[in-house]
A and B are shown apart, each in its own frame.
Chain A
Amino acid sequence: MASSRAINVLFLIGLLLVPFMWDSFVAYQLGLFLLYGMVGQGIGLCWGRAGFLPLGQALFFGVGAYVFGFALKLEAGPLILVAGLLAAILLPALIAFVVGFLVFIRQIGSGPYFSLITLALTMLGFQLANSMDWLTGGFNGMTGIPALPGTDTYETLYYVIWAALVLVSGVLAYVGTAPFGQLLGATAQNEERLQYFGVNTALLKAIAFAISAAVAGLAGALFAPHQGIVTPQSVGFLLSAEIVVWTAVGGRASLMGPVLGAILIGFMASELRDSFQYWEVLIALVFVVVVIRFPGGLWSLVEGLARRLPSIGAKGARKRDLETDKSRADGSVRLAFEDVELVLGPVRILDKLSFRIDTPGVHSIIGPNGAGKTSAFNVLTGRLKPTAGRIEYNGATVGGLSRHRIARKGIARKLQIPSVFPDLSVDRNLDIALWAGNLTLSQMFTLRPFRWSTPLLNEMYDIFPFLEDGRQPAGSLSLGQRQMLDFAMTCLTQSPLLLLDEPCAGLSSSETGEMIDAIERIVATTGSTAIIIEHDMQVVERLSNHVLVLNQGALLANGAMEEIRSNPAVQAVYGGGSK
């Protein structure tokens, strides 16, 4: 971490020295590659961190170039220039935000829809640039763009570009370290889980996409005076594709990798493109191999060397010294299912399921396989939309709302398979749970939330001492520990209602004992209501006195454990009773 920061700084210093070590023409050429590299850095934020791939980034680059080129050509003083620069940055960001939000809210995950739509946008941009002669100069381009006032295009402009690169790198590094970047990384690993923590992931991804577009717009703005001409090629699909290739080869997950990729391939291309017929074929081949085999790209080689450097700016262990109180004033829970139906294709999964839960403590749901236990959680948490019926939680209808909305109303869910964020450290996993429901959008861009702590967190450290070793990645924990971390995270949201789907699945008998103790203790201290799905009768018996039995999507029985056990209807379908 710290040594990679050192190598980033050295890399930037090295770039500053280029005009002194070579001639200014090399620096001029390099300036162009740095601009493309910045666009690549934006792609890296989306692709390397958030896990969605924009394929039309040149659109934003081109819009920035045309807008600022237009402002330069007006030659109307600094105010217009500043306004032009702002427009060159904000217009792409706005387009990206709107398109991104529209797509992401409908398509969870990293499916192809987003990538293809961005591809189509860049094609559209190319056609618009070609046809709107009066604004863009059409096919021949916008020509005669004057130099940036106060600079010489072939000499000092390079330093302006360099400063922009430093600015962009600084902003992206900060955004990546802030809670926003951590949440973005968590989105790539398990978007659905993050939504159960109340995070609006569509908004998050749209903001990341807007940031990447703003960066591309800034690079495009500097491209206009650098080249003196902007043609439709700057908006087009070919440039988009090339920058994606450079980003991949340089290293999409790193801050400086895309810049390195743009520089290396850029210089090699200008040397070899004309003399070596199969140059483009070679680069395409390298791209395919890198994408499949070496996702770290060239920069991971650089970082390998960098580990030998002394680290600078290493911070001491982070302190959690900001006590926040997450406990809610009114922790009471009133949950009601009224004739809830869920029909998927030909299958009726929930069939007029009705029940009420309005006392604190642990309630259990049992029932044979396929009875609709997990489906009941699914319609309650927004994973599935109920086909009919009402689900009411503390006076509000929640059936059919999106996952993060329901989570923010105070319903936390632990999935059956432990779903922690494997590439993030244990500390970061806990942070995400602490932030759940409390973190505002502006706090996502400050560092203070990393210092949050709650009394319940200290209690968790007490129950699960392994959590104190916060720096190890959650993926390196054993299965049992991951179950416990997941459980701890679910509780740390301090939601009044906790849904626990087979919290002891896959645990050994001693671990099962620990988990039962933990559930008992947490529910008692927080006064929350927990509903657990469990097959193991010993667990059910120890934890709860209220048991709901589901069968074929409907409530079969409902009452205390002794009543359930003596109920003949339950015996008929459950527990190996003979028919």
Chain B
Amino acid sequence: MSKPHSLAISKLSGGYGDVTVIRDVSLTVEPGKIVFVTGRNGVGKTTLIKLIAGQLAAQSGNILFGERDMRAEPPHARRAIGIGYAPQESVVFDDLSVRENLTLQYRDRDLARYEALFASFPRLRERRAQRAGTLSGGEKKILSFCRAVAEDTQLVMLDEPTEGVQPENIERMATHVATEAGKGRGFLIVEQNLGFAERLADHAHVLDHGACIFETPGGADLRARLAERLAL
């Protein structure tokens, strides 16, 4: 990894076609920091991540990664420049084996880079020859998490990584995220599991109706602070 970059988005708006879902959102992820975005269903969290990953085109605002404007780059180039992404839905290639899912982007097709992750999630190694479509929802999420964390990117974006994952595996995910952040990688995580956020966050944002309504540093009572904003 070269000199670490920060992700800085400012006044970002966008959505599907001419439907604006995200309005004027700004946030920063510095190297080694873990930033959470939370909010109720349908407020635009996934849209925000898709805009940064390039899956959707922004209508206005900036997405800077280091000095570079990411808005001009197609999604596969953003990944090559250093922004990794694990989506919320359709998280794996169902028709491909687990092994193919993990190695398709590497010429050497070597699973060695997953040693540490396999130690935490041995099921994946056991099931490497199986079609990914046959995994359970939680297992798919773990597969997608491992794929993104093992990639050589300076920033990792995870969209609801713990959805459907059992508690002990969530704990293992948290350990891996903390370790990787310790190496200087940035994380931007969309999450509804506030315990996970409290455990890891350096900073957290709450979205509502496509806008950022609250932001707060991490710390001991983060969960309570966020829950207050999220009450039905």
Across-interface contacts of B230 in A (CB, < 8 A) = 575-576
The answer to whether A576 touches B194, judged by C-beta atoms less than 8 angstroms apart, is: yes
The answer to whether A575 touches B227, judged by C-beta atoms less than 8 angstroms apart, is: no
Report B204-232 CB contacts with A as 1/0, cut-off 8 Å.
00000100000000000001001100111
Across-interface contacts of A574 in B (CB, < 8 A) = 41
Restricting to B102-143, which residues have a CB under 8 Å from any CB of A? 131, 133-134
Contact of B227 among A479, A502, A505, A578 (CB under 8 A): A578
Across-interface contacts of A505 in B (CB, < 8 A) = 19
Across-interface contacts of B193 in A (CB, < 8 A) = 578-579
- B20's nearest neighbour on chain A, judged by CB, is A506
- Min distance, Cβ B41 to any Cβ of chain A, angstroms: 5
Interface size on A, residues (CB 8 A): 20
Contact of A576 among B18, B21, B40 (CB under 8 A): B40
- A575's nearest neighbour on chain B, judged by CB, is B232
- Min distance, Cβ B118 to any Cβ of chain A, angstroms: 23
Across-interface contacts of A578 in B (CB, < 8 A) = 193-195, 223, 227
The answer to whether B232 touches A417, judged by C-beta atoms less than 8 angstroms apart, is: no
B73 at the interface (CB under 8 A from A): no
The answer to whether B232 touches A537, judged by C-beta atoms less than 8 angstroms apart, is: yes
- Min distance, Cβ A577 to any Cβ of chain B, angstroms: 8
A368 to B162, CA, bound (A): 14
- B94's nearest neighbour on chain A, judged by CB, is A346
The answer to whether B232 touches A565, judged by C-beta atoms less than 8 angstroms apart, is: yes
A574 to B231, CA, bound (A): 11
Across-interface contacts of B38 in A (CB, < 8 A) = 576
A506-B15, A575-B230, A578-B194 in contact; A536/B42 too (CB < 8 A)?
Answer: yes
Across-interface contacts of B209 in A (CB, < 8 A) = 509
Across-interface contacts of A368 in B (CB, < 8 A) = 41
The answer to whether A579 touches B15, judged by C-beta atoms less than 8 angstroms apart, is: no
The answer to whether A369 touches B88, judged by C-beta atoms less than 8 angstroms apart, is: yes
- Min distance, Cβ A371 to any Cβ of chain B, angstroms: 9
The answer to whether B89 touches A370, judged by C-beta atoms less than 8 angstroms apart, is: yes
A575 to B89, CA, bound (A): 18
- Min distance, Cβ B73 to any Cβ of chain A, angstroms: 27
A417 to B18, CA, bound (A): 11
Report A356-396 CB contacts with B as 1/0, cut-off 8 Å.
00000000000011100000000000000000000000000
Across-interface contacts of B17 in A (CB, < 8 A) = 417
- B21's nearest neighbour on chain A, judged by CB, is A506
From B42, B88, B94, B134, name the one whose CB has the most chain A CB atoms within 10 angstroms.
Answer: B42
A505 to B209, CA, bound (A): 10
The answer to whether A506 touches B42, judged by C-beta atoms less than 8 angstroms apart, is: no
A493 to B18, CA, bound (A): 27
A188 to B42, CA, bound (A): 32
Restricting to A308-358, which residues have a CB under 8 Å from any CB of B? 345-346
- B197's nearest neighbour on chain A, judged by CB, is A578
Report B83-96 CB contacts with A as 1/0, cut-off 8 Å.
00000110000100
Across-interface contacts of A369 in B (CB, < 8 A) = 41-42, 46, 88-89
A409 at the interface (CB under 8 A from B): no
Report B10-47 CB contacts with A as 1/0, cut-off 8 Å.
00000111111100000000000000001111110010
- Min distance, Cβ B216 to any Cβ of chain A, angstroms: 15
- B165's nearest neighbour on chain A, judged by CB, is A579
B192 at the interface (CB under 8 A from A): yes
A535 at the interface (CB under 8 A from B): yes
The answer to whether B41 touches A535, judged by C-beta atoms less than 8 angstroms apart, is: yes
- A505's nearest neighbour on chain B, judged by CB, is B19
A321 to B39, CA, bound (A): 51
- Min distance, Cβ B191 to any Cβ of chain A, angstroms: 10
The answer to whether B18 touches A479, judged by C-beta atoms less than 8 angstroms apart, is: yes
The answer to whether A575 touches B40, judged by C-beta atoms less than 8 angstroms apart, is: yes
A576 to B43, CA, bound (A): 12
- Min distance, Cβ A190 to any Cβ of chain B, angstroms: 14
A163 to B39, CA, bound (A): 70
The answer to whether B19 touches A417, judged by C-beta atoms less than 8 angstroms apart, is: yes
A535 to B40, CA, bound (A): 9
A535 to B43, CA, bound (A): 8
A574 to B232, CA, bound (A): 9
7 A–B contacts from the bound complex (CB under 8 Å)? A369-B42, A502-B42, A574-B41, A576-B38, A578-B227, A579-B162, A579-B193
Q: Which residues from chain A sit less than 8 Å from chain B, CB to CB?
A: 345-346, 368-370, 417, 479, 502, 505-506, 509, 535-537, 565, 574-576, 578-579
Q: Which residues from chain B sit less than 8 Å from chain A, CB to CB?
A: 15-21, 38-43, 46, 88-89, 94, 131, 133-134, 162, 167, 192-195, 209, 223, 226-227, 230-232
Given A479-B19, A575-B231, 8 extra CB contacts under 8 A: A346-B133, A369-B42, A417-B16, A502-B42, A505-B19, A575-B230, A576-B38, A576-B40
Pick the 4 closest A-B CB pairs, nearest first.
Answer: A535-B42, A576-B230, A346-B133, A506-B19
